[in-house]
Chains A and B, each alone.
Chain A
Amino acid sequence: DTGVSQDPRHKITKRGQNVTFRCDPISEHNRLYWYRQTLGQGPEFLTYFQNEAQLEKSRLLSDRFSAERPKGSFSTLEIQRTEQGDSAMYLCASSSSGTNEQYFGPGTRLTVT
């Protein structure tokens, strides 16, 4: 068990560019979550997968955000036409069905200039 991994750890991009982040959950976990966290705030829920199905997406999430988990293993989060307000830490977490105990990856820190 190597834990949840995320790539890249840091991303600096210019406003208007597209970015994609990857998350590899703990191998036996079938639930996967994406969150966004800004300074002084708790993680804000973005979306949730059970296996390859995206079961919930935050209404706060604009159409510029999309996430996939094509084979029920790793997941990607894409942000199109980035804005300065997208600057945040993007966290991925996984859990196994039957429990809601989430294990977080190290996060991807996005800076939009």
Chain B
Amino acid sequence: QKEVEQNSGPLSVPEGAIASLNCTYSDRGSQSFFWYRQYSGKSPELIMFIYSNGDKEDGRFTAQLNKASQYVSLLIRDSQPSDSATYLCDATTGGFKTIFGAGTRLFVKA
């Protein structure tokens, strides 16, 4: 069974801090990795994607990928209360075989 694992949380950080969200995957054939944000009662919203080892930055968000360790992370700098949501990690193989983790709940305290 190919899996994507995330700590369910909740992860609680103070406003302005860095939130670090982690994800591991079991399928070494996974090629593309995505982070989605999901507010309660809403559908997932794509916030970051990464295909190559290393870091990718977009505004306050940085995605990190280490294929050797089968590890993906998302850093959120200057966390805001509006960042409070569930963050879903998605690993995709072969273009469409996609597996989501169960998500990590993040709370940013004002």
Residues on A close to B: CB < 8 A? 31, 33, 35, 40-45, 48, 50, 55-56, 89, 91, 100-107
Residues on B close to A: CB < 8 A? 4, 8, 32, 34, 36, 42-46, 49, 88, 90, 92, 95-103
A42-B101, A100-B34 known; A31-B43 Cβ under 8 A? no
Which residue in chain A gives the minimum CB-CB distance to B105?
A40
Please determine whether B34 and A102 come into contact, CB atoms closer than 8 angstroms: yes
* Chain B residues closer than 8 Å to A43, beta-carbon distance: 44, 88, 100
* Chain A residues closer than 8 Å to B4, beta-carbon distance: 42
A42-B88, A42-B103 known; A104-B43 Cβ under 8 A? yes
For the complex, give the distance between the alpha carbons of A63 and B96 in Å.
22
Please determine whether A106 and B43 come into contact, CB atoms closer than 8 angstroms: yes
DSSP class of A's interface residues: helix, strand, loop or mixed? strand
From residue B102, how far is it (CB to closest CB) to chain A in Å?
5
For the complex, give the distance between the alpha carbons of A50 and B68 in Å.
31
From residue B10, how far is it (CB to closest CB) to chain A in Å?
12
Which residue in chain A gives the minimum CB-CB distance to B99?
A45
For the complex, give the distance between the alpha carbons of A106 and B43 in Å.
5
Task: Please name 18 further chain A to chain B contacts, defined as beta carbons within 8 Å, in addition to the given A41-B102, A50-B96, sorted by A numbering.
Answer: A35-B100, A41-B103, A42-B88, A42-B90, A42-B100, A42-B102, A45-B99, A48-B96, A91-B43, A100-B49, A100-B92, A100-B96, A101-B34, A101-B46, A102-B90, A102-B98, A104-B36, A106-B42
